[in-house]
Amino acid sequence: MIPLAERMRPKSFDDFVGQTHLVGKDAILRSQIEQSHIHSMIFWGPPGVGKTSLAQIIALHCNRPFYNLSAVSAGVKDVREMIQKAESQRFMNHGSAVLFIDEIHRFNKSQQDALLAAVEKGIIILIGATTENPSFEVNSALLSRSQVYVLKEIDSNDLIQLIYKIISKDELFRNKTIRINETEALIKLSNGDARKLCNIMEMVGTMNNAEIEITNRLITQLVQQNIALYDKNGEQHYDLISAMIKSVRGSDPNAALYWMARMILGGEEVRFIVRRLLILAAEDIGLANPNALLLAEATAAAVDRIGWPESRILLSELCIYLSCSPKSNSAYMAIEKAFETAREYSHLPVPLHLRNAPTNLMKQLNYGKDYQYSHQYENEFSNQQYLPDGMTDCIFYQPKSNAIEDKFNEFLQKRWNKYK
């Protein structure tokens, strides 16, 4: 059976729930489309707020061919094939096709560049959907040719309207008597996401009971039984990633794997998990095992190349390796101390002997004078001043006790009295 969220997908602006600032009567986007003024655009907003539905309504209203690609699975070849199809349709006097790219932020530069020429030539009307800030995730050339529209989370009134619409229209509820006693849990667990609300209501509709009372307790029980409703943007999202990171930091690979599995089964983006592990490799393992960062970076690249489900093996390997690595936050602590001091003493001048002297005037002012080139000295070291006057005794980096940093400490002690 087609999922409830798909069955309830709106077919017109009047049927659309939420986003009244864009599709309400006399709203800017709706007015433009109703006048057949269609242009490339980027829809930026959280999941489940109608980005795909809105793209389909626009194509239908303007009588344009509609093509749909997901950036999760599509490559440059798929983009070019869609553009060729759109060009063929254009020659048949159907007008420029609408090409909808879901999660366009996942496209790399070459994939986005493949779209650019087709947009410029009017072969396609691009509608991209993203949950990420397009200023950072969409290349500037493509962004400059598109209008960005911000979609908001669906508010509680609109979600309640959708609940009643589902009960009155969907086949799951045709032969059931539904009494809505409480809606707080439905609203909270949906978290402004219409798709999530549809998923919960689908669980309600598949209950065998002919009479159902919708209460907060019933909804909470149903959701707890279905891990697929993991909230990628809410409190549980942050609790689970926090638990995983703290388990890795605490050197417990079993707990780390469990929390990671919970996130993956709940639909968390693999790139998000890898990004957090990359940060951890530098912050919590750091100089105790510099290879950890290299493995995390290699895993991030491999996950993008291999895809799912094989990527779960790479994530498992990285998670175990990081959990079982020695830990040090010395690099993290060092830069934090350096930031703190730099903010307080930002006025201190660079010592003359450390300054660059590209002009004769600068040389006359003693820029670079008496600088000692380290490679000309024994052990590649000259005991000269590198910090500003008055700060020479500052220590930002304090080595932790582990095999690698013990060697760093020995190295520094042989050269700098402040480390002795």
How big is the chain by its Cα radius of gyration, in Å? 29
Asked if 40 and 149 count as a contact pair (C-beta separation under 8 A), the reply is no
- The CATH architecture that domain 235-323 belongs to is Up-down Bundle (1.20)
What's residue 382's pLDDT? Answer: 87
- For residue 321, pLDDT over 90 is answered with yes
- pLDDT band at residue 1 under the 50/70/90 scheme: low
Instruction: Please tell me the distance from the alpha carbon of residue 119 to that of residue 127, in angstroms, as a whole number.
Output: 10
Summarize the confidence of residues 285-301 as an average pLDDT: 93
- The CATH architecture that domain 330-419 belongs to is Orthogonal Bundle (1.10)
Specify whether domain 19-150 bears CATH 3.40.50.2300: no
Q: How far from 234 is each of 193, 201, 274, 299, CA to CA, in Å?
A: 11, 19, 19, 27
DSSP code, position 382? -
What's the CA angle centered on 231, arms 255 and 23, to 5 degrees?
A: 160
What's residue 247's pLDDT? Answer: 93
Specify whether domain 156-228 bears CATH 1.10.1740.10: no
Summarize the confidence of residues 175-203 as an average pLDDT: 90
Instruction: Please tell me the distance from the alpha carbon of residue 216 to that of residue 354, in angstroms, as a whole number.
Output: 68
What's residue 257's pLDDT? Answer: 93
Q: How far from 347 is each of 341, 389, 393, CA to CA, in Å?
A: 11, 11, 18
Instruction: Summarize pLDDT for 345-402 with one digit per residue, the tens.
Output: 888 888 888 888 888 888 888 888 888 888 888 888 888 888 888 888 889 988 989 8
In the chain, list all ranges with CATH 3.40.50.300.
19-150
- pLDDT band at residue 92 under the 50/70/90 scheme: low
Instruction: Please tell me the distance from the alpha carbon of residue 328 to that of residue 401, in angstroms, as a whole number.
Output: 8
Q: How far from 14 is each of 22, 23, 69, CA to CA, in Å?
A: 12, 8, 26
- pLDDT band at residue 131 under the 50/70/90 scheme: confident
In the chain, list all ranges with CATH 1.10.3710.10.
330-419
In the chain, list all ranges with CATH 1.20.272.10.
235-323
Most confident of 60-69, 116-125, 241-250: 241-250
- For residue 319, pLDDT over 90 is answered with yes
- pLDDT band at residue 237 under the 50/70/90 scheme: low
Range with the lowest mean pLDDT among 41-50, 102-111, 376-385? 102-111
To the nearest whole percent, how much of the chain has pLDDT over 70? 95
- For residue 106, pLDDT over 80 is answered with no
Beta strands 211-214; 177-180: pairing state: parallel
